[in-house]
Amino acid sequence: MARKSSVERAIEATGGFKAASKNIVVQYQNMDRRMDDILQQIRNDVLSRGVNEADIAKVDVYIKPEEHKVFYVINEEINGSIDF
């Protein structure tokens, strides 16, 4: 069995891209929206609809700034939208 390279071991120790802190901002015309804020709004919307947070396994997000909407699908079965 081959030994892991020092680069592979370093990535495992520090986490690399997957574990890196990320700041994603969607800009459209004169509006800026942080992805963390969008996801929090989606979470709040879903929970207000009576969905148990522990039941959320997958979240798909579709941002349509030209319509000023963010559409989402939870667990491939619950559809909703929030304002962009």
Q: What is the pLDDT along the chain (84 residues), one digit of tens a residue?
A: 567 777 777 767 777 787 888 899 999 999 999 999 999 999 999 999 999 999 999 999 999 999 999 999 999 999 999 999
Residue 20 phi, psi dihedral angles, 5° rounding:
-65, 145
Looking at residue 53, what is its pLDDT?
Answer: 92
Per DSSP (E only), the strands in 6-77 are 25-28, 31-34, 59-64, 69-74
pLDDT at 19: 80
Q: What pLDDT score does 2 carry? A: 63
Burial class (CB in 10 A: 0-12, 13-18, 19+), 42: buried
Domain borders along the chain are 21-83
Query: Token pair for residue 58?
Result: 């997958």
Which residue reads 């996801």 in tokens? 39
pLDDT at residue number 1: 53
